[in-house]
Structures are given as C-alpha cells and as structure tokens.
Chain A
Amino acid sequence: MSEHSLDAATGAPWVALLGNPNCGKTALFNLLTGSRQKIANYAGVTVERKEGRLVHVQNPVRVLDLPGVYSLKARTPDEAVTCEYILGLLPDEPRPALVVVVVDATQLARQLRLLIQIRALGYRVVVALNMLDAAQARGIHIDLDAMSAALGVPVVASCGIRGDGAVALTAAIEALVGNVSDPTGRTPVARTAEPIFPTTEAAQHEVDALLRRLGLVSLPEDTWSERLDAIVLHPWLGPLVLAVILFLIFQAVFSWAQPVMTMIAGVVSIAGEICIHWLPEGMFRSLLVDGVLAGTGTVLVFLPQIVILFAFILLLEDSGYLPRAAFLLDRLMGGVGLSGRSFIPLLSSFACAIPGVMATRTIPNPRDRLVTILIAPLMTCSARLPVYALLIGAFVRPRSVGLGIGLQGLCLFVLYAAGVVSAFLVAWTLKRFRRIDALQSLQMELPSYHWPSLRNLVIGLRQRVEIFLSRVGSIILALMVLMWFLSSYPVPPPYFTGPPIEWSVAGRIGLALAHLFAPLGFNWQISVALVPGLAAREVAVGALGTVYALGAEGHDVSARLATLIQGSWSLPTALSLLAWYVFAPQCLSTLAVVRRETNSWSVPAVMAGYQFALAYLAAWMTYHVALRVVGAA
C-alpha cells in the first residue's frame, strides 16, 4: 500500500484514471502506484475513489482511481463519484493536472466515446490503450501514432495485467505533468459554468468517422468467448455448468482441506504440549493453553478451507464467468423483485457482507439497493465457515452418498443454499410492500473471458490469508483472552462443588442466557459463545474451545473440540445451531457499515431485528423437527 507516502506528496499534482467499467483502470492503478487494490474481470469492482502515489518517478505525482463510467451521465451512486469529480461539481476537490483515459483496445467504438466527451471538457488528456495484447491476439492491429494524430492526444500502450505494462504510461505521465507550470491551481473548466460536452450520439458519430479513417471498423470478433458462451449461456447446459462448478467448490472445501487442517491442529497441540511441559502449573499457563491456544487454535484450523473457497472465487472473478452466472440467475432475481445488478453485491457477500453492502453502490434504483443491503448478510460469509465446518465435521460422517459425492460437502452446500433461499424469500416478501418498476434494467456487461492470472490469484490469496491471520492475531486473540478471564474468574469458593467455570462471570452469563436459548436446544456453553460472536462470528468457535478447555481435563482442545461437542451435544442441538447461523444476526461491523451506507439507524435496526427473529424461529423449528425425527428413530 502506498497510502502512507501520500502525506509526503501534499501539493503534488493529481492524475485521474478514467474509463469504461472493466477496462482495466484499477489494474493500471496498481502498477502505477504499487498498490494492491482488488481487480477482477467484471464491471463495478471499484465503487469508490482510491488514491495512490506514482512510483518510479522523480517528482511526486498523486494518482486517483475512479469507478468506471460509460458516459458522463451518472446512473448509480458509484458512477456519480466519477461524474461529479470530472465535471468539476465538487468545489473542494483539486482538479487533475492530467486525465488518463483508459481504453480497452478490443472495445474501441464504445470506449473512445468517453474520451471525446472528456477531451471537450478541456482537460490535458492521455489515452492508455489497455489490453493491446488481447487485441493483437485477435488480429486487431492499431497504429498508435496514427491514432494519436487523429485524436489529437497522446496514445500510449499499456497492459494492466503484466508487471511491466505501465512503464510507457509512467513516462508519459511524468513528461506531461512536468510541463504544467502550476499543476495544482490549474482550472481547465470554469467551475461556475455548466460543463459542456458532446451528446452520446454526436460523440459516437465522431468516433465512428475516426475509426473509419484509421481502418478500424468491422474488426475480428473474439471467437473464443463466443464459442464458450454458446455452452455457458445455453438455456439448459448453462445452468448445469453452474451447478457443477458450485458443487465442486463445496466438495473441494471439505475433501482437499483435511490433510492441512490435521497438520495445523497437530502444530497447535504440540505448542500446547510444550507450554504444559515447560511452564509451571498456574494462571499464566492456563491463559496460554486454555485461552490463547484453545481459542485461536480452533479458529486457525479452518484457514485451509477459507483458502480453498477463495481460490475458487478468485478464479471465477478473474475468468469473466461471474457476470455469466448472474445472467443465468437473473430470472430468479426478477421473480423476487430485484434487478440483476444485485447479483454481484450478493456474491461479494459470500466473502464478507461488508464489501457486499458497499458494492450495492452499483445499483441504480435506491429501493432495489436497500433490499439488497437488507438481504446481503444472509449470504454465508467466510466467517461462518468455521462454525459450519466444526459442526459438520463433528456430526456428519465423512462418507459418500454415491456418485463420488461426499455427505459433508453436500451438507455444506445445503447450508449455503439455505442462506440464498432465505434471502430470496425475504426479498420476495419485501416485494409485496413496494412498487416494482416494470422496466427494471440489467445492462450488465459480459466481458471477454481471460485465462485467470496466477499472479492475481497468488496476490488475492495472500491478502485473504493476511486478513484471516490478522483477525486471528488481533480481534479474535483479544476476545479469547477476555473470554478466558471471564471464564476463570471469580474463582469459586471451596464449598462450590460444580465445575469452577460455572461460578465464573462467563458461566453465569451463559446460565442466564441459557433460559432464552433453551427452547432452541442450546446449552449454556453455546449461549455464552454466541456473545463474543457478535464481534466476529468465528469467535463463537474459539469461545467454545475456551469454555470446553476450562471445563475439560485434557489440553488438546483445538484437535478435539469436535469430539468434545460430539459427546456432549445432541444431534438436534447441533442442527439447531447450524440453522441459527444461517441467519446469525450477530455481526456488529456489518451493522456499522449498513448504517454508514444508508445513513440511517433504522435500516441496521430492522436488519438486526428481522435476522434475530428468523434465526430464533429457524433454530426452534429445526430443533423440534429434529427431536421428533431422532426421537422416533
């Protein structure tokens, strides 16, 4: 990240990156500034402005990455950020000394139109022709000098996905910005005047005439993508492919992760053994072994599953498949009153609801956006994976149900599906209370397929691992230490005959909460574990680790937590807890982001309320149905 160096660049000129959605602006931004912003092969990844500082240059230059736009008329909150900036409607915003218009070389006819409009605003402009390699592979040959002469602005070749793809662009930026005498005070457009730029039609005429002159009309098509789309978008082959992909992911999460999970559990338990061997018995050893190791160790074990899940998500994002999946599922979205625009935000919520809620900025209709925000937390976020994995691992035997399908993977698939189905039911219910526009629009670009880049995959996975480890090392560790104190103190008086933990603060809170949760089949240990889960869902697993470590004899809890709960919980209790976590209203950070994004307290309040009610209802029903079935059997 280069944010820390930005302070040193105060007063340095700004360079703004502008272009159509998915033309590779952020990939270029990352190369120019050495940043690691998220990139993927679909429109609308960047929903807010990102700042960085140009690397490998003498004089400081600041770079601004903006959400992609098709024209200067904003349709969505994320596009408004870009349009207001470039039209000079933000009085406090310094104007850019240079605008880099990023153009996908395979989409010249549409993307150059934006250049024509921006050029008319009077900015100093340079065109960065991105994806030139893809164009050449397709047989499109572009004479950069001729194009530069025809457009009247410099044209530079760039390639956002190759390490050295921004060298020429950096040089061009440095040369052009260096020429400006007073870069910060430069005002290319009078701020009071209404900005004037050519209409879409006029700009298109100009581009068409220009491309005819350059001999760049009727270009070779991307036959590869078309052939793939014949299968992927096929009315019944397409959904089949989608189902197979999703199913593979859930199978892989369980079957591939197992060896590494066993290894991590082994390391954690060896660390515990070492502590027990070398440290004298007492408070400190208990804190380390029962608090830190039992708590964070039980969460850490699930790292491999999270890595596998994200590897698949990153590959799908990079390939260009995701918008196709949205295409296939759009009919369902329409049925519950949502536009297809809600798909990507909902999909992002599988990682975490927070980026999902932020991605709703790409939804034009405010009511569609609100409904999407309300249902986003029902998508199973990765923090719920440890809870699911623990319970499935403990209560579902790893056997095949035929056709090579593992029962554990199937259960996980069902839990994810339960979240999606509930989200659709909630949206469908809300549909009755609002007018649905008969002309809801989709207008979602289906980009060319790309081979996923190994570099992107590695960077993306490393970021996920870092995020996970830093969560384990900070908030989870802190909560675990707190949990250990609350579970260890006060020390019971000699006359107390029960387990010491039941005398502690945590034990008493748990026993009190257990009255509320008893109808769901939750014991007091579960009830108390739900509380720190408010701050981070996976802490519920760690908290169970600590509670059981202090209650149990052995010290090898991270490896044995599954066995421990298997012995002390009934199957209906386990199923009930799983049902609870499908809705799991407990995530304070999501509620905080929803408050910020909607600028209201009532939306997060409604969200927390309805999810708590649904979680309680679903867990209660699951518990009682399971009691009947198991009891009868």
Chain B
Amino acid sequence: MVAVSSLTDQPTAAVSGSRRVRTLASLPIGRAAIVASDPPSDDTPRSAEVRARLAEIGVLEGQSVKVIAAAPFGGPLAVKIGSGTFALRRAEASVVWVYSEATDE
C-alpha cells in the first residue's frame, strides 16, 4: 500500500485497438496474458527503468505471463513469466502493460 500510492493515479486499464490492455498488477489471478509493446503515455523515466530490469527476467513484448498468487494485505504477486515464476511487488507489476486474447466483461 505504501509503495503503490504514487502510482494509483495511473489508469489500470485502457482499450488499445481491439484488445483490452491493462497493467500486470490488475490482471486477475489465473488468467494468462501477453506482454504489450507500448507503455502508457504518462510513463516516467523511473518506471521505464523498472521495466528494463523486468525485461532481464523475461518480461518482454509478446511473452506470456500469468499471476498465480497474490500475498495478502497488498503484498507481492507471484507471476509466471515464460516457464519461470517470480515474485514482484505490485508497484513493479503496475508498470507493465499486458493484454489477454480472451475478451470478457
């Protein structure tokens, strides 16, 4: 909760073309998604830096991701990235945009 406060102003979902784009942090548990190419327009240099570091562990455009668990009280997320699983802070996950092929809601 502490860490996310500065980022809550950002939209958590947007419609880009025909697909629904959202942040990795807002992805429901268990739903697979694909990492989208472009960051939101209000991106900061700091979040670009974090995204670059996430790229090193495989959060790259076109790669599949899935949130498999969320720790309670706003704790970290366990995210399947390719064939590996990583724990990410929610603030970290909110700088990554993803889309899922399945249309719902």
Q: Is A235 an interface residue (CB 8 A)?
A: yes
Which of A152-160, A351-359, A435-443, A492-500 sits within the interface?
A435-443
Closest partner residue, chain A, to B88 (CB atom): A442
Q: What CA separation (Å) do A331 and B88 show in the bound complex?
A: 11
Alpha-carbon distance A583/B44, docked complex (angstroms): 42
> CB within 8 Å of A: which of B24-79?
46-47, 50, 53-58, 60-61, 63, 68-76, 78
A109 CA to B92 CA, complexed, in Å: 22
Give residues of chain A (77-111) contacting chain B, Cβ–Cβ below 8 Å.
Answer: 106-110
Q: Are B50 and A441 in contact (CB under 8 A)?
A: yes
Question: Across the interface, do A442 and B89 meet the contact criterion of CB distance under 8 Å?
Answer: yes
A154-212: which residues lie under 8 A (CB-CB) from chain B? 200-201, 204
- Assess the A334–B89 pair: CB atoms within 8 A: yes
The reply on B102 being an interface residue by CB < 8 A is no
- Do B56 and A331 touch (CB < 8 A)? no
Say what secondary structure dominates the interface of chain B. mixed
How many pairs of residues, A versus B, come closer than 8 Å at their CB atoms?
Answer: 131
A473 CB–B CB distance under 8 Å: no
Other than the given A230-B69, A438-B4, A439-B47, 18 more pairs (CB < 8 A) read A107-B83, A110-B58, A200-B60, A221-B83, A229-B68, A233-B78, A235-B69, A327-B69, A327-B87, A328-B75, A330-B89, A438-B7, A439-B50, A439-B89, A439-B91, A440-B92, A442-B89, A445-B87
Query: With A200-B60, A334-B2, A439-B46 in contact, is A233–B68 under 8 Å at CB?
Result: yes
Interface size for A (C-beta < 8 A) is 45
- A326 CB within 8 Å of chain B: yes
- Interface hits, A98-126 → B, CB 8 Å: 106-110
Interchain residue pairs A-B with the least CB separation, the first 10: A331-B75, A233-B69, A235-B72, A446-B85, A70-B56, A438-B6, A327-B87, A71-B56, A444-B87, A110-B58
Cβ B68 vs Cβ A445 within 8 A? no
Instruction: Give the nearest-CB partner of B60 in chain A.
Output: A204
In the complex, which residues of chain B have a beta carbon less than 8 angstroms from the beta carbon of A447? 85
Tell me the minimal C-beta distance from B22 to chain A in angstroms.
19
Q: Are the CB atoms of B86 and A439 closer together than 8 Å?
A: no
Is B84 at the interface (CB under 8 A from chain A)? yes
Q: Which of B5, B55, B57, B81 contacts A438 (CB 8 A)?
A: B5
Shortest B63–chain A CB gap in Å is: 8
Q: Which residues of A in the span 395-454 have a Cβ within 8 Å of any Cβ on B?
A: 436, 438-447
Q: Does B11 contact A (CB under 8 A)?
A: no
- Residue A323 is within 8 A (CB to CB) of chain B in the complex: yes
B81 to chain A, nearest CB (A): 8
Residue of A nearest to B30 (CB): A230
Decide: A443 and B69 in contact? CB cutoff 8 A. no
Chain A residues with Cβ below 8 Å from B14 are none
Point out the residue from B7, B56, B92 that lies within 8 Å of A73, measured CB to CB: B56
A106/B70 in contact, CB under 8 A: no
